[in-house]
Each structure stands twice: as structure tokens, then as C-alpha cells.
Structure 1
């Protein structure tokens, strides 16, 4: 497929990248004991029809760090994936906006019951009663700007178009709420744009700077950024569009990040994401009272795509109840990438699982089911590790 076709397709798939997905039922799998079992399973997944060209998983326990990888980071050179390769983290970036907002709540700069009317009075009055809490757990009812005709038309015309990230909600400003705030769960990319704007309004500080001060620096993230353009920092995991029988096509730099911003625009590495989820899942950035609020679960509410096991939603975090135990984290997908970050509630054990193609219900339900089963096997290996 030509670059022109990739760019045209990018606009069509963005809504898929960001659309809500119902959880699939992970298939039964053998108990993954031993290092060779996970290695073999990841290699089989990469080699399977329609599988991603590359995959890397970083498991961290009290014993240390283990890296499992398969396939290649770059088809052209054939080099393997590495923990310091940059990648698009897609909707796992929503956990970063959650980290910013909840840290500000801890410091009493924001309150979970703050409304859009109070913090962002320039937004439609019909949205005024929506609270920060409802934005963070996707019960706001805000219409999703990434599904609007105006936004998608601009993206299809030029996938590298430079959007004004702080005006993305303008695309749906003429629309009412989809439901009464707090009455339903519905994943919306507008939610995290509003979260970032509330944080900026409360601090009079750009969101990018808040990320540096409140997240990157405290957690020791040295290779994480929120770009506006389409270029990837080197070295990076190349993301691919996989459409058999055509060979995989590199789509790493097809889409600019200004159109997703706080909802999914961050670039990071498996090593940095490991440090992030260990700190985030454990609540290291804020106190116990905020953690208790964050972990009020909405049963059956899935992340995007659904993570391993049974999913429930908290405040910018999801609970994944697997056959081996519980981990907390987030998933994400965008053109060329699918992500899972998860850790035990105390942050002592973590998994970062990244593949270099987009895997969703609509792009391949069977492949998504297989990936979720594989992710659960990795979680089980993580939880059963002799690190107590």
C-alpha cells in the first residue's frame, strides 16, 4: 500500500483506534510456567496470520527485570525490539492525564467534584454539570470529538494536519451531552482533553509542563514526551499496517499527534512505561485518600481495547481480574501500535506489553481474543514469579 493510501486510510481508522470496545472472552490457555513457554507463545503470536511484525514484553518483579521479545522492531533492518525503543503509547496516555489530575487533587488545586462550569466556563453551558470525577471514569456523557464529521474530514484530507489541541472540543461544542452525567459508562476521547484543560485552567500552566513536573520527573521518565507532529524520536519501534496478503507497511509517522493530544499522543519506551505503571498503580504520586477514590470500580467497564480478564473502570485506571489475580493498568491502540501496561496494586510487579500493529475488535476479533489470552498468560507468570 502506498504512503498516499496509508494517509487516506489513517483518517478512516482513527475512529477505530479510539472507539469503545466491549470485552472479549479470553480463550483457555495452558498455565505458562517457565521462561520458554512465554517466549514460544509470543513468537507464535507474531508468526500467526495477520500477527504484528514485532512484540516486546517487560516483566518486573522483586527479583529484577525480564524482557521477552519476538519479531523485529524494523522490518527493513531486521533488528529486534528493545526496551529503550520509542513507541506511540496510544490511550495509555489517558493514565498520564489521570496522574496529573489526581496529583492536583492531592495538593487541593483541583477537586474531583469540580465542574466544567467552574473550571472551563467557555465550554457549552449544557455540559456545565460534568465533574472531573466523571471525566476520569468516562461517565461524563461528553460527545466524542474524534467521531465528529468535521474532525474526521480534516484528518482524512491531511492525516498530518496540525490541529489546535486545546480547541478539539470545538468539533462537538454544538452537541448536547449523550446522557445525564454519572448515569452511564461510555469511553470518550473528549474526556481526557477536558481533564488536561481543567488542569491547565487550575494551574495556569501548559499541560506538557505539568506532565514534566508532576509525572516524568517524580517517576524518573527520561524518554517520554508529548509531541505535536508526526515524527518519531530514534530509536523507535516501527508501527505497521498489517493487511494480508500485502506485506506490512510502516505507518509509524503517518498521523500527527496534535489531534489526539492528552487523549493518546504521548511517545514513550517500554522501559519508561514500566517505571510509570509501577508508580501510577501504587498511587506513589498522591495520597491514600485519593487512591481510595480512584479505585471505586465500575464493574464491566472495559478499557480500549479490552484488557486481560474481566475489566472494571476506576479514575483513569482499569482493574483486570485474571484467573491468577488482579492487576491495575490501561490499554491503548492507534495506527501501528497496541499497548497494555499493568501492575499489582502495590506497584511491586508490573507488565508492559507492546505490539507493532493495531489490534481491535473491528480489525480482527479473533486476533484480539488471542492477544488477551496471551496477555493473561503473561500476567499469570508475573504474579506467580518467586519474588515474595
Structure 2
């Protein structure tokens, strides 16, 4: 039986020929491994008029990143202070056409989708429909007995101890058999329903994809609304997100930045539509654009979707890093991370998925923001050196954004 049941229509089944993908590497992307390697050379957008010295240096670093072994075919950075956004980019959105990346290009936002589930949950806390101490057992009576005392707070800051469904052998086997398989997202936790907690809830930090699936199920259970509709009401509409959605299939809306796996000596392989988003759902299935993600993080980091009291609870920081780790020192809050860099503090989230790596961040008042998107996956498992290089560039981008602001 599913842990919770909410009526909804199902998408049409996938059609056409399944693309060739390197499953051994790319599939474990869902578990934290990496699809990288090789040297990519791609055209670079020229410097814009009015670049500061810091922006010129950052553009050069982005060009070098594209040319690095294992580097992305394309990268886009959107910096916004109080005025119009500044767009820095290198490489291309599509290796076949050579088209440059645009802020309106769609992309898979990976685990930055966890910030969206955080936004939904915290709004429901403000409305009194949920509490941070609401338990899985009271909200979802069908959960395993061992999980019943886990609270919403522990799910949001990854101290729940829930086993990660994306590591379950049966889940991995099904995904290997059909990467475009449409899972029932409301049954993803069933893959680990017979497993005990990994540790006593609240006793330690461990990043888990199961946490945000559970958050979405709790939100559905108390509102009797599908999670997709809650996103529309609570997040998309208030923040003016016009190009953001949570699909269940594998197809990407046009235009989109193509995501690639690179495994020399083979040429880069387009994996943009290789996997169904249903297997990650509230934990990482959202599709958006750099433009919408900029709007989101400016509002979310500033607490515009909820109350000051709830924001204070959200910002009770504990030790814990996002995946991949963001710039500087990482600490975890409720559906958000704090990144303390040499130039100041920003709040946000990172994410990685086959073909994509993401960082969104903003100052606590939301007035200065950064959206940083790569068209390949970078994480600590197979390319630790590249992760550290990326974190350095991300920190440099934060410094350009803040211009020495140490608030």
C-alpha cells in the first residue's frame, strides 16, 4: 500500500527510442556519483560592456572551467543586486548547434528542488496546518513503526535517520532496466519501508533523498492537495515563476540547456532526457530556468513566503553540507543551507543530477543573488578535485556578488 494516496492524472507513457546512456556512471548520479571526464572545447560568450574587474576575472574562470578535463560543455551565472541581472556564461547550451545558454533556457534543477519542498512545508507551518514537531506517525499513519517519531524539522534539516530510497537495490534495478520508467512518486519510500532508521532521529546529520519525499507526502496529507498544486499556490504564483514545473516524465520543455555525460574517449553524450524525473520527484525533479531560479532564491532566502517567526526557526543552523558542498563553510537549516565565504554569507542550496549541477544563493535579505548552473554533473564521488575547483569559483562568484559586503 502507498504511504499516502492522492488522486491525480498520470502522464502519457514515454514513446520513441530510448537514448544510449552510460548507466554504470550516470545512473549512480542519483546516489551521489558523477558522470564526468574528458576535455571539452566550446565557444565562449564575449565580455559584456561595463564588466567590473571581478566580473572579467570570473568570466575567465568560467572559460577555464569549460576547458578543464571533465568540465561542463556550458555554464551560466546570473548575478543580481538591486538592479538588472548580470549574465556571465561560457560554452554552449547545445553542442550540436553551438547555441549559447540563455537565462530563459530550461534545466533540471536537481536537489535545489529540496528548497521548494522546504518552502511549501514552512508556509504550511505558518498557516498552522503543520508544525515543525509534527511527526510522520501522526501525519502519515501507514509509515513503518520505526519511523513514526521522526519530525518535520528533522526531515527538513536531514537529521531524520530515514534510509535513502535512491540507494535501495530494487529501485536501482528498476532504473537500470528502464531509465525512463515512470515511478509512482508517492510510493518511492516503499523501497525502504522494511528498513530501520539509520540513527536516532535528531542525533546526527545525514543528507537523504527520502527526507524531502516524506516532506511532500506530509504536505499532501494535511492539505489533501497534490504536491504539484501546492507548489503552484505557495511558490510559483507568489514569486512569479512562469517556467517552473514538476514533471513525471523524461522530456524537457523547449528551449533547454542540454545536459551531458562525458567519458573519454567517447564524445560527450546528451543525457538531458535520459531519465524520468518521477524517480526523484520532490527531492530533485523540478525543471526551471536560471531566470526563475533567481526569482525563487531572492524570495525564499529573504523569507518572503512565510513569517519572521518561522524564518527564525529555519535559520537554526547545524553542521552539515549540501550535496555537492557549496562555497565556503556549509551549515544546514530547514530546507536551506548557510554558506559562509571569505567575502560574506549567503543562503541557498546546491544540487546535481545527470547532466546538471546547480547552486542558488542569496543574501539573507534577498537583495543580492547568485544562480550558477553547469551542463554536466559534478560531485565528490568520482571527481573530488573538480568539486573543490568548482567551489573555489563559486566562492569567487559570491565575492563578485557581494563586492566586499560582509554582513
Same fold? TM cut 0.5: yes
1:333 aligns with 2:352: yes
1:80 aligns with 2:96: no
Aligned to 2:6: none
d(CA) in 1 for partners of 2:29, 2:212: 20
Q: How does 1:335-350 map to 2 (within 5 A)?
A: 335-350=354-369
Structure 2 counterpart SS, 1:118: helix
Structure showing the higher helix proportion among its residues: 1
d(CA) in 2 for partners of 1:77, 1:234: 14
1:235 aligns with 2:255: yes
Q: How far apart are 1:35 and its partner, in Å? A: 2.5
* Structure 2, gaps ≥5 residues long: 1-17, 35-51
Do 1:106 and 1:290's aligned partners in 2 also have CA atoms closer than 8 Å?
yes
Aligned to 1:355: 374
Q: How far apart are 1:38 and its partner, in Å? A: 1.2
1:16 aligns with 2:32: yes
Q: How does 1:93-172 map to 2 (within 5 A)?
A: 93-172=113-192
d(CA) in 1 for partners of 2:169, 2:325: 26
1:273 aligns with 2:289: no
d(CA) in 2 for partners of 1:193, 1:146: 11
Q: How far apart are 1:13 and its partner, in Å? A: 3.2
Sort the Cα spacing of 1:17 and 1:272 in 2 relative to 1 into closer, same or farther, 3 A: farther
- The equivalent position to 1:259 in structure 2, one of 279, 285, 292, is 279
TM-score by length of 1: 0.93
- The equivalent position to 1:48 in structure 2, one of 54, 61, 68, is 68
d(CA) in 2 for partners of 1:43, 1:285: 36
Q: How far apart are 1:10 and its partner, in Å? A: 3.6
1:313 aligns with 2:329: no
Structure 2 counterpart SS, 1:213: helix
Structure 2 counterpart SS, 1:45: helix
- The equivalent position to 1:369 in structure 2, one of 376, 385, 388, is 388
Report runs of 4+ in structure 1 exceeding 2 Å deviation. Answer: 2-14, 32-35
Aligned to 2:201: 181
Do 1:141 and 1:178's aligned partners in 2 also have CA atoms closer than 8 Å?
yes
Structure 1 counterpart SS, 2:20: helix
* Structure 1, gaps ≥5 residues long: 19-31
TM-score by length of 2: 0.89
Do 2:21 and 2:274's aligned partners in 1 also have CA atoms closer than 8 Å?
no
